[in-house]
Structure 1
Amino acid sequence: MNKRQLGTSNLYVSEISLGCMSLGQDKHHAKSIIDKALDAGINYLDTADLYDFGMNEEIIGEAIQGRREDLLLGTKAGNHFKQGEEGWSWDPSKSHIKTAVKDSLQRLKTDYIDLYQLHGGTIDDPINETIEAFEELKQEGLIREYGISSIRPNVIREYVEKSNIVSVMMQYNALDRRPEEGILDLLKDNQISVLARGPLAKGMLSSEGKEVARMKAKDGFLDYSYDEVLTISEKWQQLANDKRSASALALGYILHHPAVATTVFGASSIEQLNENLSYLESLPLTKHLYEDIQALTKPITYQKHR
C-alpha cells in the first residue's frame, strides 16, 4: 500500500483508508472489517464523536486493542451531545473541544489521537478560539496533528491563513468536482493535504452504480439531472474493465490530484471493503483515462460559502 504524507507532518497515510461511520453497532462485525482493512495495508481509520453518539468510537477502541501501533486514528469534534440521547448542537468553543477530546480518548481507549478534526464549521465561528484549543491539545500531547472537515471555501480559506492544519476532509468524487474549482490547488500550494470522503458518490460510481443511481438520484445529484446521472453511471461501467474495477476507477480519479493524501471510503460489509481494496490490484490511471472521466462529468461551482 502506497502512503502519502499528511501536509508537512510526520504522518503518512495509506492512499485508501477506512471511514468508520457505516460499520454498524455489531462489535464482531465491525472488528472483522477493521482487521481485514488493516491486514490489507490500510493504516488510517476515520471516525467522529457524533457517530452513533459515541458508540462508533467505543467499537473502534475495542477493535484496535493490540494493534494501536499499526494505524493512524482520526476523529472529530464540535458537536455537543449527550450519549444515549438524540439531538446535538454545534459548539466549536475551546472549552467544548478540550472536554470532547478527553471523552474521545476514553472511548477509543488510547492516550493520543493522530489527527483531530473540527467536524464542520462556519465563517461565524470563534475561529481563533478553536485554533487555540487545537494548538494547546497538540502541545499537551493529546493529539499529534489537527485539521478540519469542511467543504465551505470561506471556512477553508480562514483556516489556511490562520492555523497550522495539516489536512482538510471534504467530499470529492468524479460527480462532485467542486473542490477542483480552486480549493485543491490552494491546499496544495500551502502544503495541506486533502482527505477525500464520499469517493464513490453514494455508490453511484461503484460496480452497482446504475442500480444505486436509480434509487438515490431520483431528484438528481448536485447539478446533474436524474437522466444525466444514469447515463454517466452506465458509461462509468464501460470505462471500468478487468484492469480496474468501477470503484478502483473512482478512487484513482481522486488520487490523481497531488493535494489528495487519501480517499476515505465507508464499508458496512466485507464485500464492500473488498470492492474498494480492488484498487490495490488495478493499473494506475492514465492521463488519457483521466481526461475521459473529466469529459464524461462536469465541473461544478460552489454557490454558497464563498
Structure 2
Amino acid sequence: MKKRQLGNSDLFVSGVGLGCMSLGTNEAEALRILDAALAEGINFLDTADLYHYGLNEEIVGKAIRDRRADIVLATKVGNRWTEEKNGWFWDPSKAYIKEEVKESLRRLGTDYIDLYQLHGGTIEDNIEETIAAFDELQKEGVIRYYGISSIRPNVIREYVKRSNIVSILMEYSILNRRPEELFPLLKEHHVSVIARGPVAKGLLTNHNAGKLENAREKGYLSYRYEELERTLQIVQTAAPNRPLEEIAVQYCLHDPVVASIIPGASSIEQLRANANAGQAAPLTAQEYEHIQNTTKQDLYELHR
C-alpha cells in the first residue's frame, strides 16, 4: 500500500490506516483483524489509552510484539479515567501526560511511541504546559513525534502556531467537509491531517440502507434526511462505476494534506473493503470537482 509522509516527520504511513477503537474486547477476533490489516500493507495503527480503559492498547501491543519496527504506532492521552473505571475527566497537565505515557508504553509493550496525540483540548487549557510535556517526552526519546486530535479551529490554530505538531486527527468525509477550511493553514505549516470517519458511519457505502433509515428522524450533521438521501445519490453519479465507499475513501485521500484515513473495522471483511478502497485509482479531477460542487462545506460554528 502506498505510503505518505506524516507532516514534516520521517514517518511514512499507509494511506489507509486502522482506527483501533472499533476492534472490541474479544481479543482473539481483534488480533485476527489486526493481523489481516498488516497483511494488507497497513502500517499505521491508531489507538488511545481511553479505549476500553487501556484494554485496546494491550491488544494492539500483543499484535505488534514481533514486528514493532514495521509499525507506525499512534496513541492518545488527556482523558483521565476514574479508579473505578466508570468515567473520565479532562487532564492535559504536564504531570499527568508524563505519568500516563509510562502506562501506555507498558500496555503497548514498547519503549517508544511513534505519534503521541492529545486526545482533545480546549482554548482554556494551559497550552504551553501541555506542549512542554510533549517536547520533553520527545527529547527523552519516549515519543518520536506528537500531534493533536481536535476539531476546534481555535485550538488547532494555537497548536499550529505554538508547537511542533506534525498531525491533526479529525473527522473528515464527503458529508463532513468542515476540516477543509483549515487545509491552507496546515499545508503552510507542513502539518498533516489524519482523517477518521471517512465513510460517515457507514452512510457512504453501498450497504447503507440501515444507516440511512436511522437518519430519517435526526438526519446527519447538518443534512436533513431528504437532503442526505439526495446527496448520496449525487455522489454516486460522480463516478457511477465505483462503489460508494471507494468514492468516499478516495475523496478524502485526494488532497495531499491528508496523510492517512483511519476507518474502523469490526470484521476482516470491513477491513479488506477499506484497504481495497484505499488502493483503488484516485478520483479524477472532474470526479473530485463534481463532488465538491454538489455537496456542502459547512464551517465549525463553535470554537472559532
TM-score by length of 1: 0.96
Aligned AA for 2:92?
P
Instruction: State whether residues 254 and 282 of structure 2, in contact with CA within 8 Å, keep that contact through their aligned partners in structure 1.
Output: no
**Unaligned stretches of 5+ in structure 2?**
none
Other-structure match for 1:301: 299
Contact 2:120 2:148 in 1 (8 A): yes
Q: How many residues align?
A: 304
3-state DSSP of counterpart to 2:22: coil
SS in structure 1 of the partner of residue 125 of structure 2: coil
SS of 1:284's partner is coil
Does the alignment pair 1:102 with 2:102? yes
Say whether the 8 Å CA contact 1:205–1:236 is kept in structure 2.
no
Deviates more, 1:62-71 or 1:48-57: 62-71
Q: Matches of 2:244 and 2:84 in 1, distance apart?
A: 39
In structure 1, the partner of 2:244 is 246
Residues 250 and 278 in structure 2, CA contact (< 8 A), matched pair in contact too: no
Q: CA RMSD in A?
A: 1.4
| Contact 1:210 1:230 (C-alpha < 8 Å) held by counterparts | no
Could you say which residue in structure 1 is the equivalent of 2:210? 211
Q: Map 1:74-223 to 2 at 5 A.
A: 74-82=74-82, 85-181=85-181, 183-216=182-215, 218-223=217-222
Aligned residue number for residue 39 of structure 1? 39
**Judging changes above 3 Å, is the alpha-carbon distance between structure 1 residues 66 and 12 closer, same or farther for their aligned structure 2 residues?**
same
- 8 Å CA contact 1:123–1:155 kept in 2: the answer is yes
Aligned match of 1:267: 265
CA distance in 1, matches of 2:107, 2:141: 17
Counterparts of 2:263 and 2:2, CA distance in 1? 16
Q: 1:70 to 1:84 in 2, by over 3 A?
A: farther
Q: Is the 8 A contact 1:254 1:260 kept in 2?
A: yes
Shift of the alpha carbon at 1:234?
3.4
Query: After superposition, what is the alpha-carbon deviation per residue over 1:51-89, rounded to whole angstroms, capped at 9, x for unaligned?
Result: 111111111111212121121100000011146511000
Distance in 1 (CA, whole Å) between partners of 2:250 and 2:216 is 23
Check the 8 A contact 2:15/2:278 in 1, yes or no. no
C-alpha displacement of 1:245:
2.3
Letter in 2 for 1:283: A
> Contact between 1:167 and 1:194, CA under 8 Å: does it hold in 2?
yes
Equivalent position of 2:66 in the other structure: 66
Contact 1:209 1:233 in 2 (8 A): no
Go from structure 1 to structure 2 and tell me whether the alpha carbon gap of 1:3 and 1:201 turns closer, same or farther (over 3 Å shift). same
Per-residue deviation, residues 198-233 of structure 1 (Å, max 9, x unmatched):
111111101213431211453012221111112222
1:73–1:113 CA contact under 8 A, matched in 2:
yes
Alignment equivalent of 1:289, drawn from 287, 294, 297:
287
> Match of 1:3?
3
Alpha-carbon offset, residue 241 of structure 1: 4.8
Deviation at 1:284, TM superposition (A): 1.5
Structure 2 counterpart of 1:258, one-letter code: P
2: distance between equivalents of 1:21 and 1:77?
A: 14
How far the C-alpha of 1:267 sits from its partner, in A, is 0.5
Equivalent residue number for residue 17 of structure 1 = 17
Q: How many Å separate the matches in 2 of 1:207 and 1:149?
A: 29
Query: TM-score when scaled to structure 2?
Result: 0.96
Contact between 1:48 and 1:77, CA under 8 Å: does it hold in 2?
A: yes
Q: Which amino acid aligns with 1:196?
A: A
Distance change (3 Å), C-alpha of 1:84 and 1:35: farther
TM superposition shift of 1:237: 4.1
